[in-house]
Structure 1
Amino acid sequence: MSEAARHASSLRAELRRRSTHPEVLRYCTVEILAKNPFHASLEAVKSVADRLRTLTGQGLDGARLVDAVLMPGQGTARVAINANTTGPELDEQKGLANLVKGLFSMYRNPAAHEPRLHCTVTNEELLELLTTLSMVHRRLDSAHVTR
């Protein structure tokens, strides 16, 4: 078995073990198979923004998108992961919104503006990111969406 095939097989096994969300894999499998963790991380993070736009019909991007659809304002967030009525529920909702904004800032924004040579993403970091993004998508799976 070639090194590339062993690498792909090893990563696939670990992604299966971690129950990586299919929506994450839909966006970055090609990059994973090409042994390109930098671009895999970029594409995987884009999956969340694309999903939020699809769920809401909203055309925004980045932090503006997250603030418009995930952050509770004067009432329930447009994509609500809970009832958004108690303090702890609002904290949880804000926490998810801040986590998503943080992932955008950490992985999508630098990758879009900096040369790949300056942005190293290891395989271990990629696996951790994909696991985190899977958790985000699972929360979105059960979210209540107001268009």
Structure 2
Amino acid sequence: MAIEDPGVGMTKWKRIFNALALLQNKHQVGNHLLMFINRAMNPARFVASPRQFTLMQDGLNVALSLAGYGVDDQGRAVRATRETTVAGAAARAKRLKTTLEARGTHAEVFAYCTPELLDENYFHAVLEAIKGLAERLRKISGLTCDGAELINQAFSTKAPIIAINSLTTDTEVSEQKGISNLLVGLFGAVRNPTAHAPKVAWPMSEQDALDIFATVSFVHRKLDGATKV
């Protein structure tokens, strides 16, 4: 693809912009821009910096979605459903929510923390997701308490309020205890610190957030088949 150089003396981005603008004005089609994107986003160029690829892909997808295009994971410009608002375009590009959806994360997770996910605010998204789990336990059990007290009462094996199975065998009782212990650990190790410590003092990486969301999603699926005793 031969593009006329608009001249020296400009910064690199201005030279590229003006070169593409000249082609667009001359031919009145977007083919050259799409070809440029395909070459610039060739994954082979990002082997040493995959994070840079995802950042550029997200940025391009915000702008291109307004014209009915996007950049796929192979770095190719492809047609997509056209967005009509900047907010919609930005939301589509958010990687954490997209990754969770691709993993089949339980719908109840999104019910409580979608705004935080769209902001890619891992710290508060995790906090809201676990608070949402507690709220679901209260709705099922009718209890009004919180934390370990809520969990221990709801999943008691002697006087259970919520049963995730029939509790008729040692294995089933063990599973009930395991879910209870898992929840107590989740609240103690994740929710309580994030609820009391400032964000700067308790960093939350994307990978940690994904792992925590997977645990929360797993518990929600167990609750799908649970019954109130």
Instruction: Using structure 2 for the length normalisation, give the TM-score.
Output: 0.59
The aligned residue for residue 46 of structure 1 is 131
Separation in structure 2 between the aligned mates of residue 8 and residue 118 of structure 1, nearest angstrom: 28
4+ aligned runs moved over 6 Å, structure 1: none
Asked if 2 retains the 8 angstrom alpha-carbon contact of 1:49 and 1:62, the reply is: yes
Q: Which structure shows the higher helix fraction?
A: 1
- Once the two structures are superposed, residues 93-146 of structure 1 have per-residue CA deviations (whole angstroms, 9 ceiling, x without a partner) of 000001011110111111121121111111111111111111100100110112
- Once the two structures are superposed, residues 64-95 of structure 1 have per-residue CA deviations (whole angstroms, 9 ceiling, x without a partner) of 000010131x24x2111111121111110000
Asked if 2 retains the 8 angstrom alpha-carbon contact of 1:24 and 1:47, the reply is: yes
> Relative contact order: is structure 1 or structure 2 higher (C-alpha 8 Å, sep ≥ 6)?
1
**Identical counterparts, % of pairs:** 42
The aligned residue for residue 69 of structure 1 is 154
Among 83, 88, 100, the alignment partner of 2:171 is: 88
Asked if 1 retains the 8 angstrom alpha-carbon contact of 2:91 and 2:118, the reply is: no
1:16, CA displacement in angstroms? 1.6
The aligned residue for residue 121 of structure 1 is 204
The aligned residue for residue 23 of structure 1 is 108
Instruction: Using structure 1 for the length normalisation, give the TM-score.
Output: 0.90
Separation in structure 2 between the aligned mates of residue 115 and residue 7 of structure 1, nearest angstrom: 29
The aligned residue for residue 132 of structure 1 is 215
Q: Which amino acid aligns with 2:144?
A: G
Give the SS at the match of 1:120: coil
Whether 1:105 and 2:162 are equivalent positions in the alignment is: no
Alignment RMSD (CA, Å): 1.9
Asked if 1 retains the 8 angstrom alpha-carbon contact of 2:96 and 2:120, the reply is: no
Give the SS at the match of 1:2: helix
Separation in structure 1 between the aligned mates of residue 101 and residue 142 of structure 2, nearest angstrom: 31
Asked if 2 retains the 8 angstrom alpha-carbon contact of 1:62 and 1:101, the reply is: yes
Give the SS at the match of 2:207: helix
1:7, CA displacement in angstroms? 9.1
- Once the two structures are superposed, residues 1-45 of structure 1 have per-residue CA deviations (whole angstroms, 9 ceiling, x without a partner) of 538849953223311221111111111111111121000010011
Separation in structure 2 between the aligned mates of residue 25 and residue 113 of structure 1, nearest angstrom: 23
Asked if 2 retains the 8 angstrom alpha-carbon contact of 1:8 and 1:35, the reply is: no
Gaps of 5+ in 1: none
Q: Which amino acid aligns with 2:166?
A: A
Give the SS at the match of 2:94: helix
Whether 1:9 and 2:66 are equivalent positions in the alignment is: no
